[in-house]
Structure 1
Amino acid sequence: MKHPIKKNVIKIYILTTVALYIPFYHVAKVFFEASLLILLPYLILNHKRQDQGQKEFLVFLATIAFYCISFLVAYTLKKSDMDIAYAINIIRIAVPLTIIYYAATISSPISIRELILTLSISLILTFTMIVSPWYESNFSGRITLGTNLLLIYGTALAATIILISTTLLMANRESKRYFILPAIALVLGILALLASNAKGAILATIAMLTLISFTQVKTPRSFLTILILISIILISAYSHKHTRVQLIDAYQQVENYFSPGRTTVSGSQGDRLEMWRGALTKISDSPFAINGNMKLIDSFQQEIKGGNISYKIGNFKHVHNDYLQSWMSRGPIGFISLILMMIIPIMIIQNKSLKMMAFSFVGIYSLTSITSVPFLHVYSLRYYCLVVTLILISDKQLKDKEKI
């Protein structure tokens, strides 16, 4: 018995979910969670077509499960409402993700080209959605779509930009026509990133492009491409008055924090440095303690009362650093689970090109995790897991093709 849904429709459904994620997050979220109802019947009716080559995805799924367990352990010990909420969100990501993976592996193949075209369309749609409000703000606003969390939104944009950039650098000359759309999408995506004014994501994009240049630039043409991309970001950031002012202000805040005789903490960068200092002190004092995720007014209650940490950071829910937050709240198990979420996708992918794509994508998340918590917010975590899963799907289908 054949399911009425054609295999191509399954592929289009999955790619549409990815394409809409950044520009139309709430629509994509419905598509993602509705996969249980839409794709599960197809999967059940075609279960006999499943083969045994699923171990890479199962390893990734086990990594997500371990990450979830770290929150459940913290909840068990500290009864933190935030930890159980995070654990539930991770489960709500993992279940549809599993359905999407298995449905995709028995539907029409998703090629690397189709994945990159999908992400390119996503960037073009994003720019189309933000250009009007950005213009109305005289190009000085901080524009986001789907979430008001600037750096989290910026992380998703930056990761997509870097993923497409990596593919362009690895491209063969005979396929240059195909890369016209991704090249246009890159420029528009960079403009959308500047419109968000997510400073951490902008700096992470420049850093990752520079890093990729050392691993992928093998010809003068590739070097010119990477130089042009970095130049576009730097020139645009400097030309964009609001972004330039914000970056200069951020530098001054850091300089002020370390100045002798400082009596107050100023600005968002000063707040971050104060949070990091408090987190490092807490970790060094009790490295194996599991404190649970909670508002910083509760995490640093004694330190704030004693005047050892600025009272200003009590208004925040986390320390704006995934590495410190994971260890401070969930102990070594939390920190290890976070690191595994980053390195396992790179380790399990076998195709050389796809491994490089995964490295660049994960790299953006790893860098922005220094100044934010993209692995803690459901918006960015779901996007991370979804794109990694699509790369795993392409990797599996390439292996299957080689066996034929």
Structure 2
Amino acid sequence: MQILQDKKIVLGMSGGIAAYKIPELVRRLKDQGADVRVVMTEGAKAFITPLTLQAVSGNAVADSLLDTQAELAMGHIELAKWADLIIIAPATADIIARITAGMANDLLSTICLATSAPIALAPAMNQQMWHATATQTNITTLTERNIKIWGPGSGEQACGDIGLGRMLNVDELVSLSHDFFCDKYLQGQHWVITAGPTREAIDPVRYISNHSSGKMGYAIAHAAIRAGAKVTLISGPVNISAPVGCQLISVISAEDMHQQALKFAPESTTFIACAAVADYRVANIASQKIKKTNDAMHLELVKNHDIVADVACLPNKPFMVGFAAETQNIEAYARGKLVRKNLDLIAANDVAKSGQGFNSDDNALMLYSAIDKTEIPLANKQIVAQKLVSLINQHYLAKQI
């Protein structure tokens, strides 16, 4: 069953240009199985019509506190009680201020005051309005009241400004809605995850690296966040966005990653070494671009620190999970690494197979412990990550007994 199946979501719209994204958001939530009822402010109707939202939601749109037919059944109270979750998107500075003040001068603010359901706001406003002291004070107050703040994102805005204030995109809002209803079985745990490649400089314009895209590590981070963990993601250079809710630590070289791993690992419960870290670095990095003068160029390479082994040697080491990307003798190499590096688990994949591993959206893993092994069949990396996170937690809990 889908996580959002039969979940009752009131989607409140206030008047912002980001309102044009809401029909797609409603459609996507319904595709996930949710029952969505839309509540619009007068300002929202200046950007998009109630008929459009009625068509995509399959439910009548509520837009007036003084609708005599709806209020025969106390419509605003009925919606307030009906909701499993109230999402306000876009949440303008005005609706944020009115909810903070406890006002009830339109249908949406009244529902928010009358409900016991959780409320999530997706802010959308000019970057200067977002940074204004009044808005930030309101956000702090709402956070203290346990109202969730989803966003905002950063980028170019309708007014031409660039900065924080954009409403999160539809994919992010659907994902956050999904995460809200997920079982938070990792609550209280802190996962530190390394992901992506490292780059070892040759000179100011060249480097040695590998084909890692970071997709698997980022998928694990997303799945762990969804399950309630605090996540610190130590990432090499990638072209994908970090999951909403993680602490992202961006690094370049293996040495950078080593330093950050040793910094954050001692405070973690679980350490996932998913990054494809360069085994070697150039001994002497040229300060200027090396010119092409000979048919051959010789580089002296020296071994990098072993991040996984060093973390595993910490006095109070976290639960350790390594990765082994191999092209042959998968189990033998993986089990050897499991013992040699003092790991609790190791996830191995065959990167020689097409359609999985580096740069692919799919993967298949074999998870080895000292006494058993579990196969995670080929699937999208998000699905593989969800299964992997659950298995890691099972082994982690077993070790605590």
| TM-score (norm: length of structure 2) | 0.23
Q: Quick one: higher RCO (CA 8 Å, sep 6+), 1 or 2?
A: 1
Q: Give the structure with the larger helix fraction.
A: 1
Q: Give the structure with the larger strand fraction.
A: 2
Rg: which structure is higher?
Answer: 2
| TM-score (norm: length of structure 1) | 0.23
